[in-house]
Homo-oligomer: A and B are copies of this chain.
Amino acid sequence: MSLTNRSLVTIDDLSDGEMEALFSLADEMADYPKNQTELCHGKIMASLFFEPSTRTRLSFEAGMLRLGGRVITTVDIGASSLAKGETIADMAKVVGSYADIIVIRHPWEGAARVVADYAGIPVINAGDGSHEHPTQTLCDLYTIRKQRRTIRNLRIALWGDLKHGRTVHSLIYALARFDATILFCPGPGLEMPEHVLRRLSSEYKGELKKCRNLNQELNSKLFPIDAVYLTPSSPHQLAMLPDINVGVELKAGVDALYVTRLQKERQAPTVGVQELKKGYPVVDKKLLKAKEFKKTLVMHPLPRVDELTHEMDADPRSMYFKQAAYGMPVRMALLALLLGAKEPTIPEEKDSFIRKTDYPVYHRDSGITCPNTNCVSNQETEVRYIKPEFKIVSRQPLTLRCIYCDHELHPQYVASSEWHQRKLENKKYHSADSHFAKKIKPENLIVFASKDEAKAQQFRPSSYVRQ
């Protein structure tokens, strides 16, 4: 399938085969730079960065220029018309009429999806809040592939601020697809969000094991492992003897240790950043002397602060500057593909790609909103045109996932549009976990956040509603 004119909002927008094709093209970009200098001649990339960035923006821009294309840039929210109260949809439409492709970074989760919906040209998500950062994931995987010759069946440890790090969110979805075992080693209070873990285990079919407290002794020597994601494709000892075999798992070695910094700027204002900083683990030469790390790739999406010492820079295991440098060929390949300057050669598809599940979609105007205050669908300017929309990812318990930011909600009360459409006096609502509720077809489902909300819409409690 051609990548021309498509957008990259989430890492799931690319199939496994497309990723492999992109990496081959990145090799070509790196190895024969002189062949690429006219590939995107006459094309314009709009670089819209509403959050600070050096690495990502400059590598996209340098990449586009090295392809012979040109660049227009907006870097500062103060210098943009957003300050005048414009919606991002309007901005997307307008910029879409000047440029051939948009690269956007934005503090709101789901912003890149909205821009892609309205721009009319391909859009690349260069980071949307704490949500996703798919091109960083491409750089990460490409780095591993260059070093290990494969991105399949890896054992990866994720270290640090797993709560706010959008890079790790995009990364684990990709790793899961390529049959990785993932060890989660968060800083205290910085655990991977529940909805991310749930998506991981529900969508990618692996098994998630919480291990904290199980291996205190081990932890003291290495680092606290909070949870392990076990890929379904390769059976593990661990799966059978969870209490003791995290150590066994580790003894086989860790392919990559992915360190992230404390995302100070995304902490809730009530959180004591100084406290977090104090408890934040540091990766240094001493830690990496353990034999489990003998051949471990030390990775970091950069910028780093204190969590990874400068003494590691000269260590041959350190990959973080290579990761950054690979940003250019990887992004060149992506730009060339989305702009149709290159057609991908998709290698014979192995069966391992778990296609995105086609969940039924809920988009009634029934008072339900996304619980994430940072979601694009909750912003004052954007509610003018965005209606909340959710995938119904589970009926038991009833779980709706925001199509913009992937946060989940669990409505307590439901009704059926079928019943009351036929007989209006029957506008009754039920507890979401009642026997009756589960029989409602997805297309007829109406959900309420509260009894009051149901009442406000003229529904009365059925006998299935607990008082």
Chain A contact residues, CB within 8 Å of chain B: 34, 37, 42, 44, 46, 49, 52-55, 57-59, 61-63, 65-66, 70-76, 78-87, 89-91, 93-95, 97-99, 261, 264-265, 302-306, 309-310, 313, 321, 324-325, 327-328, 381, 384-385
Cα(A337)–Cα(B251), bound, Å: 54
Q: Is the CB of A72 within 8 A of B81?
A: no
> What residues of chain B lie closer than 8 Å to A87, measured between beta carbons?
310
Smallest CB-CB separation from A42: which chain B residue?
B37
What are 19 A-B pairs at a CB distance below 8 A? A37-B42, A46-B58, A46-B62, A52-B79, A52-B83, A54-B74, A54-B86, A58-B94, A62-B99, A65-B70, A71-B72, A76-B78, A81-B302, A81-B303, A84-B264, A85-B261, A94-B325, A98-B325, A306-B384
- Kindly state the separation between the CA atoms of A58 and B48 in the bound complex, as whole angstroms: 11
- CB pair A86–B325 under 8 Å, yes or no, is no
User: Judging by beta carbons under 8 Å apart, are B93 and A74 in contact?
Assistant: no
Taking a contact as CB atoms under 8 Å apart, the answer to whether A65 and B44 are in contact is yes
Query: A74-B58, A75-B76 known; A303 and B84 CB under 8 Å?
Result: yes
Q: Which residue of B lies closest to A65 (CB)?
A: B70
Note all chain B residues with C-beta closer than 8 A to A385.
Answer: 310, 313
- Establish whether residues B66 and A52, one from each chain, have CB atoms under 8 Å apart when the complex forms: no
Distance (whole angstroms) from the CB of A432 to the closest CB of chain B: 32
A304 touches B86 (CB 8 A): yes
The 3 closest A-B pairs by CB, nearest first: A86-B303, A97-B325, A310-B385
A306: chain B residues within 8 A (beta carbon):
85, 384
Given contacts A75-B76, A89-B310, A97-B321, 20 further A-B contacts (CB under 8 A): A34-B42, A52-B78, A52-B81, A53-B81, A54-B86, A58-B72, A58-B95, A62-B98, A71-B72, A75-B75, A76-B76, A76-B78, A81-B302, A81-B303, A84-B303, A86-B303, A86-B305, A94-B325, A97-B325, A98-B328
- Closest CB-CB distance, A125 to chain B, in whole Å? 18
Return A107 CB to nearest CB of chain B, in Å.
Answer: 13
| Most B CB within 10 A of own CB, among A57, A58, A80 | A58
Task: Give complex CA distance A303, B93 in Å.
Answer: 11
Residues of B close to A66: CB separation below 8 A: 42, 44
This chain: how many copies in the complex? 3
Q: Are A59 and B98 also in contact (CB < 8 A) when A84-B261, A384-B310 are?
A: yes
Name, among A74, A84, A313, A321, the residue most crowded by chain B CB atoms within 10 Å (CB to CB). Answer: A84
Shortest A236–chain B CB gap in Å is 37
Q: Decide: A94 near B46, CB < 8 A? Known: A84-B305, A85-B303, A384-B310.
A: no
In the complex with contacts A86-B302, A305-B86, A94-B37 CB distance below 8 A: no
In-complex Cβ contact of A94 among B54, B89, B98 (8 A): B54
Contact A93 B321 (CB under 8 A): yes
Please determine whether B58 and A62 come into contact, CB atoms closer than 8 angstroms. Answer: no
- Give min CB distance, A150 to chain B, whole Å: 24
Contacts of A261 in B (CB 8 A): 84-85
Decide yes or no: A54 and B76 within 8 Å by CB, A42-B37, A44-B62, A321-B97 being known contacts.
Answer: no
Q: With A58-B95, A62-B99, A99-B62 as given contacts, are A52 and B384 in contact (CB-CB < 8 Å)?
A: no
Pair A55/B76 contact, Cβ less than 8 Å: no
Chain B residues with CB under 8 Å of A79's CB are 49, 52-53, 75-76
User: In the complex the two chains form, what is the Cα distance from A60 to B359 in whole Å?
Assistant: 44
B residues near A78, Cβ cutoff 8 Å: 52, 76
In the complex, the answer to whether A54 meets B75 with C-beta atoms within 8 Å is: no
Cβ–Cβ < 8 Å partners of A37 in chain B: 42
Query: In the complex, which of the residues B49, B61, B72, B91 contacts A62, with contact meaning CB atoms closer than 8 Å?
Result: B72
| A67 → B minimal CB distance (Å) | 11
Chain B residue nearest in CB terms to A263:
B84
A49 to chain B, nearest CB (A): 7
From known contacts A52-B84, A303-B85, A384-B306, infer whether A72 and B76 are also in contact, taking CB-CB under 8 Å. no
Q: Which of A34, A321, A381 is packed against the most chain B CB atoms within 10 Å? A: A321
